Structure 1
């Protein structure tokens, strides 16, 4: 790799009941990144996942709290490295793309590189999931002004400054959405590498529940929009209430200009209350946005306190 020094690469594999794939996954990544340390984070597997991982020489850690988000929180907290390469332990992500992802992140001094999935086998990436990915990617771009090609990809390379500044507040598969928004909000330099998405080996089953996890992802996007963009979130609500109040008030004004009277007092009181409510919500958004800006600045300072990729280490 150009310039600087060779990075310490940690390959992070979150796993749950992947005895059919974990051995081949470890071997595949070790073949293309022989100097990297492979960590398997077991999330309460009931099969031989842990035993096989240890036989392959991986460092095994256990995470009791169920859910990929909980695993990611533990991975970033416990592991010390220059580059963190995360992939699922089910052999669906192509190890051959890993060196390029690490090289791009290191040489270009990026904070995150996303492995965007390209598939030819319909069994690898179902049509419903493809459509959902495009819909949520478009929604994220609309709400935050920018997005990635594949926001749900679990194949990513991170810099140390990303890993140690990531709040990791989610619990399940919505963690990839949180990762994307974290990079967007702090305006981190990022990149993408297209990679093949492979069908699961026989005996390996997807842990993703389309509707349950889709709903959780949608809630996570809504929560992140409320927390990270409070002026837009509360301003939209205030505007909707105010527009409804104006529509209700139009007949009142027409009657008043025609007769000089306001006979429908309940409607007039409702319109007044809605207008006051809209104003309160709007100003609440302004106040919360000030708090959000302070929080973002603190995260930015924590991020800047860590050395960027491909710079000489103090040690």
Structure 2
């Protein structure tokens, strides 16, 4: 609970069996989070059993992809504020307070993994990945004359319920680049948002996307294409659905 507002967390899961229980307990620990919804996106065997040992609620999304999982989570959460994060050990529950602290002035607060002091040893944020995220973020900032952007790929963020409802009609993407789509919708709908630095730790297990260099490159190229299309398409709603 935050100033009388219920706080929910969405955890999409595919390959996080070995970390999800600890992540759930970590996010509940400080008392700000009232509800955690785990979206099982064809997750590894044993994941449901780990979730069942916690206070989290598990739902299922059979359409494979990060975007589909988060979109399902938005339909399931009941909080006034929704935190989107990952249960892979990379993000820390204590950073929920940072996101909520700015909710008086902003309708959405996005994490950024660009503060060197908060990038832990072993975290998957090497020179190539960091430069790519910053470059695409700065391109977006320039093309849209938006607020300062430094990290296009950070998947920890807070959104108020009215903002989510306002964004839903514009959701098109079901895959890994759904996060950048959310950011572009925030910009184009003129929703008040900002970035704040969050901790970024070593992942437990291998990522199905950024753990593979070529997949990470393809994701980066898709981000760039998405930004350019959003900038030069008159009506964002005309963009076709993507997996």
**What residue is the counterpart of 2:241 in the other structure?**
none
Q: Does 1:112 align with 2:108?
A: yes
Q: Is the 8 A contact 1:84 1:159 kept in 2?
A: yes
Q: Secondary structure at the match of 1:88?
A: coil
Most deviating of 135-144 and 60-69? 135-144
Structure-2 residue corresponding to 1:154: 155
Q: Is the 8 A contact 1:14 1:71 kept in 2?
A: yes
Deviation at 1:76, TM superposition (A): 1.6
Higher helix proportion, which one?
A: 1
Match of 1:143 in 2: 143
Matches of 1:182 and 1:170 in 2, distance apart? 12
Residue in 1 that maps onto 2:202: 199
Offset of residue 70 of structure 1: 1.0
Q: What CA distance in whole angstroms lies between the structure 2 residues aligned with 1:57 and 1:80? A: 15
Structure 1 partner of 2:219: 213
Q: Deviations over 1:154-195 (max 9, x none)?
A: 000000111111122112121111111111112211122211
> 1:200 deviation in Å?
1.2
Secondary structure of the equivalent of 2:27? helix
Give yes or no for contact 2:138–2:149 (8 Å, CA) kept in 1. Answer: no
Q: CA deviation at 1:78?
A: 3.0
TM-score after normalising by structure 2: 0.85
Q: Where does structure 1 lack aligned partners over 5 or more consecutive residues?
A: 231-291, 296-315
Alignment of 1:274-313 (within 5 A): 292=235
2:35·2:79 contact (CA, 8 Å) conserved in 1?
no
1:68 aligns with 66
After TM superposition, the structure 1 = structure 2 runs for residues 33-112 of structure 1, keeping only pairs within 5 Å, are: 33=31, 35-105=33-103, 107-108=104-105, 110-112=106-108
Q: Which residues of 2 match residues 154-193 of structure 1 at below 5 A? A: 154-166=155-167, 167-193=170-196
What is the rounded CA distance, in whole Å, between the counterparts of 1:45 and 1:200 in structure 2?
17
Q: CA deviation at 1:35?
A: 4.9
> For the Cα contact (< 8 Å) 1:32–1:98, is it kept in 2?
no
Answer yes or no: is the 8 Å Cα contact 2:120–2:202 preserved in 1: no
CA distance in 1, matches of 2:49, 2:127: 35
Instruction: Work out the CA distance in 1 between the residues paired with 2:83 and 2:62.
Output: 22
Q: C-alpha deviations, 1:219-278, integer Å up to 9, x for none?
A: 222221232xx3xxxxxxxxxxxxxxxxxxxxxxxxxxxxxxxxxxxxxxxxxxxxxxxx
Instruction: Count the aligned residue pairs.
Output: 226
Name stretches of at least 5 consecutive residues in structure 2 with no aligned partner: 210-214, 238-243
Q: Which runs of 4+ in 1 moved over 6 A?
A: none
Q: Shift of residue 34 of structure 1?
A: 5.2
Q: Structure 2 vs 1, CA of residues 127 and 47 (structure 1 numbering), >3 Å: closer, same or farther?
A: farther
Provide the C-alpha distance between the structure 2 equivalents of 1:47 and 1:128, rounded to a whole number of angstroms. Answer: 33
Question: How far apart in 1 are the matches of 2:177 and 2:38?
Answer: 20
Query: How far apart are the structure 2 equivalents of 1:218 and 1:77?
Result: 28
The one of the two structures with greater contact order (alpha-carbon pairs below 8 A, sep at least 6) is 2
Cα distance in structure 1, aligned partners of 2:33 and 2:157? 18
